[in-house]
Structure 1
Amino acid sequence: MKHLLIVDDEALILEWLSTQLDWSLNGLVLHTATSVRQAVALMECQQIHILLSDIEMPQEDGFALLEWTRAHRPNVIMAFVTCHDEFAYVQRAMRLGAIDYLLKPIQIEQLTTVIASAIQKVDLQQNRDTATHQQIIWQQNHGNIRRAFFSKVLSSITDPATIAADAAKQELVLLPGRKYSLVYLLRLPPDTYPQPPKAAPPLDIRSLGSIEHVMTVYTETNACLFLCEDLSEKELQRFCWRLIDTYRNADSQLGCYRSNLCAIDELLQAYQQVKQLHKDNVALFDCVLVLGDPAWDVAGGTPADFSEWKAMLLATQWTLVEQRMISYLNQQAAQKALNREVTMRFYQNVAALLYSVLDEKGIKAHQFIATITQEDTSVQDFYALYRLKDKLHTLLRATFSYTTLMQKPQSLAERVADYIREHIEEDLTCIAISEHFFFHPDYLTRLLKQETGQSLLDLYSRIRMEVACKLLAQRETPITLVAQSAGYRNISHFSRMFRLVYGITPSEYRKKLLEP
């Protein structure tokens, strides 16, 4: 049903019009209003398809209603009624979008003609809106089908016959000879070393809008994959730089990787190659890296002067060496001489350098170096330059601390015992103690047994009991405080362990100790 609104300040005319025609036969629901305000209020809460309004009304005239309708309800079909057969009236109403006008007194035949014309226009408008809506839905569904199809191609399909069969099954048209290219965009934390990197803000590709011949295959928080179809090399570069210009900011760095133009059955290989291009990159950001472009090949670079660094380390210039290493890496990055494999090899060479330095100082460092670098054995650990800088800082700091520690005149057992006594009230574990000395717990136990015949756990337990016995000799110290001071949070556990060592409870030990 369509809704017709007739507006006239004369109630008798409205009553007469409502009875002259059977509006329902024309598929109409009739509404009436006696003022512009009343008509506006009705249209704000009820969808109106056709408006027939008198022009001459007190307060606000019909032109005001036509203006409001054009601004707020542009799809309403409008006609007007007037007592004046003047061209100026007609011209103004037509400019406001009215399709026709009626002169008072209204002739039923003319009214029927105007309403029939308005109904026809409403039908045309609704058909057009329906077609547009259906086209939008089709485009959305078609886009989703294409996206799912190409996602499947990128994940597993390389056989041209299989690709063609799948496309036909989805009613997708693949033009012969068409070339494709993939663009992989990632937003990464900036290199803020020595400050820890902040999380990169997410990519919001909605701000990019729709681009002809470009489809978003998938989006993640900080990554997008685009499929470009039938674009030239120049157009592809323009699109990539548009991505960089759109999403570049001070809080992140962008990696933009593009495959070469390829056939549809080569897309899977191209996808794997652009992902590998990203994995290899550690320093080239906010620029476009094209697969196979010799401009981005890692050059030889300048060899690091490890002999000079070794001399400086032997002279205990640890901070200066770290500064030189960071400066060297920045220089290599500027020369495009770094990738993930190169950075990992550099890190391994630094570890070997430190082993050599400690060896010349007479410090056994094989286990120490192996422990401190045991988590840095995969190329995946070196995904960005700031990551390498952070690992170098940790390695150099740990080696310096270890060197200082091992050059003290105390034995290893004495140093471990002193550390336990200093931190006895903390939640110490054998792992935490071992990590402080840069040893694996098993290796530290082996060293202690060689020196004292005791394991790390034995040494830890003995020192706790020594502390407890010393405090139990002080009558005013509560048993609960004795337990806490010996590193026990649970007094029952403390009493049980004490009895296991001494054969009596802490209270019995105190009583026996303090008996006159």
Structure 2
Amino acid sequence: MYKVLIADDEPIIRRGLRGLIDWKDLGLEVVGEAEDGEMALAQVQALQPDILLMDICMPFLSGLELAELLTQVAAKQCMVIVITGHDEFSYAQQAVRLHLFDYLLKPVCREHLLAVLNKAKGEIARSGDREHFLQWANQQMCRNLPAIKEQFFSDWTGGRLTEPGIKEQLSFFHLEYREPSGMIVIKIMEKINRDETVKQWDKQVLVFAVENIVNEILESSSGTMVFHDKSGHVIAITAITQMSVWLTYGAKIEAMVETYLKKTVFVAQKGIDGLAQVAVVYAGLLADINNKTNCTPIVMLTQKYIESNFYKEDLSLQEVADHMQISATYLSRLLKQETGLSFIDYLTHVRVSKAIQLMGDPGIKIYEIAERVGYSSQHYFSTAFKKAFGVSPVEYRKGRPQHC
């Protein structure tokens, strides 16, 4: 039953409208009457009618003035039907401007009133259906939003989106991509535990736990997005405000996961040259991690130890072998056999790779980079760098963009 409010300053008009038709038979109920515009405004607020029959000329507040205020007090759409004795174009014009539903001329005849009310009922029903559909669609959207967002990240990292498409979806999900940005990829090694007594994790719960750790570490970094791919790799894209600080995130993530979750993880990170390069960087980091994790557990953990301690000037094969509790000769043979590099060559590769990333920060001097990656002097660092790339660190830095 739809609610109707009648507003007219003439009692005889109000009584006439009430008695003109069988309201109940029409599925309508007259819930109130108002004799002036101010009273009508209060009644609309209190009763929230579906249909308002109102005179244009009323004391204190005219019908047209009332119509302008309706949206402020009506919690739902109200069909406004103007009743007027003025058959003038100017009133019809104003009614159209105010989006009033229809108007009736005095004296109101039964047939015209029935026709307008039936039309109003139909519009209310259609509006209700649209509202119901929109509510249902919104509920479905909210329910499926995580899956939709996950698909977006999958399409983005998979290179299946154009740059305008990426921007559009970032805006839809209220996500911020800021430049320069970098990507961190984390692979969880479920079968290599830091503690053999640790409980077995459900894979989805484990991925969720790692995401929480990543979010905690990166919470102060703007423009951060943390998600996972279909293989359970956790990915973070975050703005780089200071390269030297950003490069510490991987080690922090690794340490926290292994401390609190007792799980071994491999972490790789690299800068991104624009939205469209996300897929390229993702593929490269994934390939880098997979190359390491395709090795035997001993070699995998050896690589992890070197990458966690490369900054030590005196890092030696013997130290790594002692940590792994195997002989240095056996470890050297395994490392060469599975990576194609000797211990010194692998350590140099890690140090130079870290140095290249640090070069993205113009505030760090070459001699400082040398110290941070484990070289006792800039000379030794430059020699190793030139052997690897054919140019000196200074020449290399001049020919590259100012972010990794």
TM-score range, shorter chain: 0.3 to 0.5
* Bigger radius of gyration: 1
So what's the TM-score if we normalise by structure 2? 0.46
Higher relative contact order (CA 8 A, sep 6+): 2
So what's the TM-score if we normalise by structure 1? 0.37
